[in-house]
Chain A
């Protein structure tokens, strides 16, 4: 006879379990309530986005898609009491500075990511660089402006270069982290195959790792471009602003984000309308790059 002391329970003393669904049982009610709250939260969170898009289309779109389209896209920003005018220089300015930022940050970012993901992933340098890239991601973007101000603007004045370099500091962290992740995901066995064939380390990288990780790298690059286009704080005291098309990169330059900032506070309806128009154009640019990033990011492995 075992010591466990199990007592045989006659069947009658055990209640028959009710397996049917019981809508009003306390637990089920509580669960339903919380689910309702969660749905509400989700829908409420979507409201700002739709509100912003709606307003962009209505207040920015009516102006943009009116008969003045060409004037708006190419014309100069209007002064105080002027009517009409456009955001041409701002569009060009944004593209120019994002271009400068991209040219600087993309090569450095990818090369650094190669070191972090493939060459010496566990070294002290790599761990520190990786950690700092993540820390940089949390830095206020205005810091890039403050930094470039001290380093460049104080000596050489406001310029498109300064703005572009400030943007490159911000783009660098995105490119490095995304490229590193893309390359780290290339399976070790593929790298082994390349080593086994007698590739030097650079050959393994250039012939196998980079091509295989390219979608992820491109995603990072496109997201960095999208983010940089929307930045305004770092441009405030590096590129300043200009009402004219750029003639030299060493001069202040217009940008969509600063135009929006400047015009939003003005008491003139024409300017405010143009601020909305510029916002629409800016958001379109940003969304296009975001969607491209998403489409590109299909891994080949």
Chain B
């Protein structure tokens, strides 16, 4: 497909087979005058893991963080488009991003437990949302679901920072799921972890999707093949002189990796560029 200045590539729309929890439609994302992402339609399906892959600088992190309005923390950020979550556009004027983030959980690249006890870390969201029920039960359940309970059940009073890297990340996952969000956003959660811890978190993800919808960012293609049900491949468009990210192709993981429709996807999968 030849790219003239006027005709820009737009990915074929992906027809989701299941319920779509978040229907993300990016027209343009700006940081100040810089066009960071364009024309990307990413429906996130319920109780599946949707993987975002692509070379660095392709905007996948920006798109992920746009889903729960985390990018609002950057003053020059501007979102043109809509993100429909439970029949509401998350970017509508009357929507308070604080509310959005209460319902959508996020796990970050670097494990970031609070400098409090393990218990208080997990209970943070419960206290924030003024949960009046049995706190210990909820904390235990979250830690169990994060596959961390056995290792920490005798030292819940210890600081969250005293755990190893992999444990800290699982603690962050437990903290995020303690309030039972329906969607969990994970921004390269394994990139700061060693291979064993990575494996543990990946296994955890497969369990998590039975209960939660997960959108996962990863720079590791093998991880996407192991874990994601659906994969969205982003790349960088330099035709207009800048570096603008855009969605190239989205589909079932199997199809993306075994039978990609776009040449660009094929090149990336086979390691022609990264």
Q: Which of chain B's residues has its CB closest to A201's CB?
A: B98
- In this assembly, does B197 line the interface, its C-beta being within 8 Å of a C-beta of chain A? no
Q: Using A192-B70, A193-B172 as known contacts, say yes or no to A199 and B98 having CB atoms under 8 A apart.
A: yes
Q: Which of A187, A197, A300 contacts B128 (CB 8 A)?
A: A197
B108 touches A211 (CB 8 A): no
Interface residues on A, range: 10 to 19
Least distance between B88 CB and chain A CB atoms (Å): 15
Interface flag for A200 (CB, 8 Å): yes
User: Which residues on the A side are within 8 Å of B108 (C-beta)?
Assistant: 189, 192-193, 196
> Would you give the 0/1 interface string for B102-134, flagging 1 where the beta carbon is closer than 8 Å to chain A?
110110101011111000000011001100000
Asked whether A203 is an interface residue with its Cβ less than 8 Å from the other chain, the reply is yes
Q: Mark A183-215, 1 if CB is under 8 A from B, else 0.
A: 000010110111111111001000110011000
Q: Is A42 an interface residue (CB 8 A)?
A: no
Q: Is the beta-carbon distance between B105 and A301 smaller than 8 angstroms?
A: no
A197 CB contacts on chain B under 8 angstroms? 101-102, 105-106, 124-125, 128, 175-176, 179
Q: Do B128 and A198 touch across chains, with their CB atoms under 8 A apart?
A: yes
Return the contact of A198 from the options B73, B99, B110 (Cβ within 8 A): B99
- CB-CB under 8 A from B102, the residues of chain A are 197-198
Q: In the complex, A119 Cα to B161 Cα: how many Å?
A: 25
Q: How many angstroms from the CA of A195 to the CA of B102 in the assembled complex?
A: 9
Task: Across the interface, name the chain B residue whose C-beta is closest to A196.
Answer: B106
Which residues of the other chain, A, contact B112 by a CB distance below 8 angstroms? 187, 189-190, 192-193
B221 contacts chain A at the CB level, 8 A cutoff: no
Cβ-defined contact, B114 with A190, below 8 A: yes
Chain B: which residue is nearest A212 at the CB level?
Answer: B115
Instruction: Given A192-B70, A197-B101, answer yes or no on A203-B115 (Cβ-Cβ < 8 Å).
Output: no
Identify the A interface with B (CB < 8 A): 187, 189-190, 192-200, 203, 207-208, 211-212, 300-301
10 smallest A-B Cβ distances: which pairs? A198-B102, A198-B101, A196-B106, A189-B112, A300-B115, A193-B112, A212-B115, A197-B125, A189-B110, A198-B98
